[in-house]
């Protein structure tokens, strides 16, 4: 009598997670469509801005929103879903199954990777169709985007899992993730360029991963001379990698110390 | 199959300063159906959750299928089926998707289509759980509890919210599982459910087992209730009392009723609640 393999169960969890995510109206609207709708709106408002070096406002925003989008499909998605699942009995039911906990998290990884890739494709498609974004042809730019994607969704997923433990019920889950997410979009140079922010606000934003992820995606997707528009006058990709990696480590520690299968309120 | 499947001695569990389970002893033999009866808050669910390795305990000895549930591994969990008190999850998936998915966790599951038919949901197999009634959703919970072909099945107030027809069908399902040799531990506060399904009944109150045995063993045969228009008496000699009353009234006794002691009487006595209170 052999037990089903952890990998097979992880794949089955991934399939079930994806079905649930894309069928649930609130996750599709708030997690998946939200960044795209914002890009369409904000991009349309600022696309007429004076073009700097042949690059329009919509193009810069597309690059920054690529970062914001995968923060949504990792941090907001996991933070909200886990709080709901802890509250509605999902986690309790799963914990009682002959399922290795690793399989559960493999399923979440599948969900986050697939949803984030789809989100990225959607945002880039909006950029190409509405704001004349030229996708880079240089493989090096895509390699940069790839490691930013991997580090970004890892850090933000771990932070999302940790944030879910702060929510006391499913109803407060949205507030625990959407509020910090929206604030970070403002202070991280996603909605508005970093130079126009008050100094203290940019300094606070620089503590969090969104600022660095957005800067990284601008480096990957915009022409090199646009680096002059960054506050540091360069892309700082080395610093981006270090800070995202530090958030991965910090997020992992927070997850391991805060994750609970059961709600503290239910018996 | 007559070996002890569950053995509990001195089980204790507190929530804060409140003792939910307070020195509970319990034995369940292989292949039997044991009903744990008790009022709300008596410790039924807490006990089931500890035995099914969903909750830790504060003290006492527990062996389930020869294993301490506090050290449950996957193999141990694959031998259990659990129907917990109702959850509100899985709403976006269809009945067939959910039952098939859960079958995948077990080394030798039952056929998902057959399980869906057994709980009476064949007609709803392609519907999302969101679209089901409360009773139908509960039957999905039952399907998920039995799809792994468990040796030991925990049913925690499984028929709460069922209509009478659904309850009867659920009872038939439990009986057929028991007939196949599955050991069943059922909690309920329906006396008729315990009587219909259980080989033995354990009455729990205040976190302890107050009595356990068959219905005949629990019911005190000496407490036959005799009531008539002008009085009521509990006696172990009802025939003599009726003869005496007949003499007193010189014929028919007005409003005479003689009732054998019922499980309800025993239950109310054991849980410290007054009949008719």
Give the pLDDT confidence score for residue A106 in this predicted structure. 94
Backbone φ, ψ for residue A242 (5° rounding): -65, -45
Compute how many other C-beta atoms are within 10 angstroms of the C-beta atom of residue B64. 24
Instruction: Check B84 against A89: CB less than 8 A apart.
Output: yes
Q: A266: distance to nearest CA of chain B, Å?
A: 11
Give the pLDDT confidence score for residue A176 in this predicted structure. 81
Q: A-contacting residues of B 84-123, CB under 8 Å?
A: 84, 86-90, 92-93, 97, 101-102, 104-108
Give the pLDDT confidence score for residue B262 in this predicted structure. 85
Instruction: Check A4 against B90: CB less than 8 A apart.
Output: no
Q: A176: distance to nearest CA of chain B, Å?
A: 21
Length of chain A: 267
Contact with chain B for residue A95, Cβ under 8 A: yes
Q: Which residues contact A207 (CB under 8 A, 6 or more apart)?
A: none
Give the pLDDT confidence score for residue A172 in this predicted structure. 81
CB of B146 closer than 8 Å to CB of B81? yes
Instruction: Check B54 against A3: CB less than 8 A apart.
Output: no
Query: In which residue ranges of chain B is pLDDT below 70?
Result: 1-2, 273-277
Q: B181: distance to nearest CA of chain A, Å?
A: 19
Place of tokens 């606070």: A204
Q: What DSSP string describes B128-139?
A: BGGGS-HHHHHH
Give the pLDDT confidence score for residue A51 in this predicted structure. 67
B105 contacts in chain A (CB < 8 Å):
4, 9, 97-99
Compute how many other C-beta atoms are within 10 angstroms of the C-beta atom of residue A148. 25
Angle at A96 between CA A92 and CA A100, to 5 degrees: 105
B104 contacts in chain A (CB < 8 Å):
4, 8-9, 12
Give the pLDDT confidence score for residue B197 in this predicted structure. 95
In sign, the C-alpha dihedral spanning B21, B25, B27, B33 is negative
Query: Considering CB atoms only, which of A19, A97, A267 is closest to B46?
Result: A267
Q: A11: distance to nearest CA of chain B, Å?
A: 11
3-state class (DSSP) for residue B7: strand
CB of B88 closer than 8 Å to CB of B134? no
Contact with chain B for residue A89, Cβ under 8 A: yes
- Say what the alpha-carbon torsion angle B144, B149, B153, B154 is, to the nearest 10 degrees: -20
Instruction: Check A267 against B84: CB less than 8 A apart.
Output: no
Query: Considering CB atoms only, which of A20, A23, A98 is closest to B77?
Result: A98
Enter the pTM of the model: 0.87
A85 contacts in chain B (CB < 8 Å):
89
Give the pLDDT confidence score for residue B277 in this predicted structure. 37
Distance CA B33, CA B131 (A): 33
Give the pLDDT confidence score for residue B276 in this predicted structure. 43
- Residue B3 is classified by DSSP as S
A25 contacts in chain B (CB < 8 Å):
none
Give the pLDDT confidence score for residue B273 in this predicted structure. 67
Q: Which residues contact A38 (CB under 8 A, 6 or more apart)?
A: A65, A68, A185
A98 contacts in chain B (CB < 8 Å):
74-78, 105-106, 148
3-state class (DSSP) for residue B123: helix
Distance CA A43, CA A64 (A): 11
Contact with chain B for residue A16, Cβ under 8 A: yes
Pairing of strands B257-259, B224-228: antiparallel
pLDDT in tens, chain A (267 residues): 789 999 999 999 999 999 999 998 888 888 899 999 999 999 998 887 766 777 888 899 999 999 999 999 999 999 999 999 988 888 999 999 999 999 999 999 999 999 999 999 999 999 999 998 999 999 999 999 999 999 999 999 999 999 888 887 777 888 888 889 999 999 999 988 888 899 999 999 999 999 999 999 999 999 989 998 888 889 999 999 999 999 999 999 999 898 888 776 554
Give the pLDDT confidence score for residue B36 in this predicted structure. 95
Contact with chain A for residue B46, Cβ under 8 A: yes
Contact with chain A for residue B52, Cβ under 8 A: yes
B55 contacts in chain A (CB < 8 Å):
267
Tokens (6 digits) for A71: 């923060």
């Amino acid at each position: 009598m052999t037990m089903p393999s952890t990998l097979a169960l992880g794949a089955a969890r991934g399939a079930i997670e994806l079905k649930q995510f894309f069928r649930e109206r609130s996750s599709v609207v708030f997690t998946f469509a939200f960044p795209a709708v914002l890009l369409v709106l904000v991009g349309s408002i600022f696309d007429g801005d004076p073009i700097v070096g042949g690059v329009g406002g919509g193009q810069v925003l597309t690059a920054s929103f690529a970062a914001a989008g995968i923060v949504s499909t990792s941090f907001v998605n996991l933070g909200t879903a886990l709080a709901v699942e802890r509250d509605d009995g999902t986690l309790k039911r799963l914990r009682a199954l002959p399922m290795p906990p690793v399989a559960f998290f493999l399923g979440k990884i599948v969900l986050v990777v697939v949803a984030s890739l789809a989100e990225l494709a959607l945002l880039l498609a909006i950029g190409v169709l509405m704001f004349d974004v030229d996708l880079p042809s240089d493989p090096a730019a895509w390699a940069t985007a790839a490691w930013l994607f991997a580090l970004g969704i890892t850090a933000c997923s771990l932070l999302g899992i940790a944030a879910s433990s702060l929510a006391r019920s499913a109803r407060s889950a949205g507030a625990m993730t959407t509020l910090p997410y929206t604030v970070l979009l403002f202070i991280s140079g996603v909605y508005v360029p970093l130079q126009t922010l008050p100094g203290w606000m940019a300094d606070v934003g620089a503590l969090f991963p969104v600022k660095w992820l957005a800067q990284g995606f601008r480096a990957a997707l915009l022409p090199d001379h646009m680096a002059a528009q960054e506050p540091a006058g360069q892309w700082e990709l080395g610093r981006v990698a270090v800070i995202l990696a530090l958030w991965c480590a910090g997020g992992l520690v927070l997850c391991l110390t805060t994750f609970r299968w059961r709600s503290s309120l239910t018996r | 199959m007559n070996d002890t499947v569950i053995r509990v001695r001195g089980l204790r569990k507190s929530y804060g300063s409140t003792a939910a389970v307070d020195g509970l002893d319990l034995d369940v033999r292989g292949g039997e159906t044991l009903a744990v009866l008790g009022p709300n808050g008596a410790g039924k669910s807490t006990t089931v959750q500890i035995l099914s390795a969903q909750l830790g305990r504060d003290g006492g000895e527990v062996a389930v299928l020869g294993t301490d549930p506090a050290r449950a591994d996957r193999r141990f969990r694959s031998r259990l089926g659990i129907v917990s008190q109702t959850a509100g999850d899985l709403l976006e998936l269809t009945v067939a998707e959910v039952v098939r998915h859960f079958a995948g966790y077990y080394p030798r599951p039952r056929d998902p289509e057959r399980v869906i038919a057994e709980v009476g949901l064949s007609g709803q197999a392609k519907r999302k759980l969101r679209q089901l009634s409360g009773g139908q959703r509960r039957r999905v919970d039952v399907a998920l509890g039995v799809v792994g072909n468990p040796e030991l099945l925990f049913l925690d107030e499984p028929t709460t919210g069922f209509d009478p027809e659904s309850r009867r069908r659920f009872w038939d399902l439990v009986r057929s599982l028991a007939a196949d040799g599955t050991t069943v531990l059922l909690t309920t506060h329906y006396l008729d459910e315990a009587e219909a399904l259980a080989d033995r009944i354990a009455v729990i109150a205040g976190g302890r087992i107050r009595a356990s045995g068959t219905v005949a063993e629990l019911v005190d045969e000496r407490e036959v209730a005799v009531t008539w228009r002008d009085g009521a008496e509990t006696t172990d000699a009802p025939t003599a009392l009726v003869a005496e009353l007949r003499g007193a009234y010189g014929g028919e006794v007005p409003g005479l009723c003689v009732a054998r002691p019922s499980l309800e009487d025993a239950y109310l006595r054991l849980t410290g609640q007054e009949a008719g209170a």
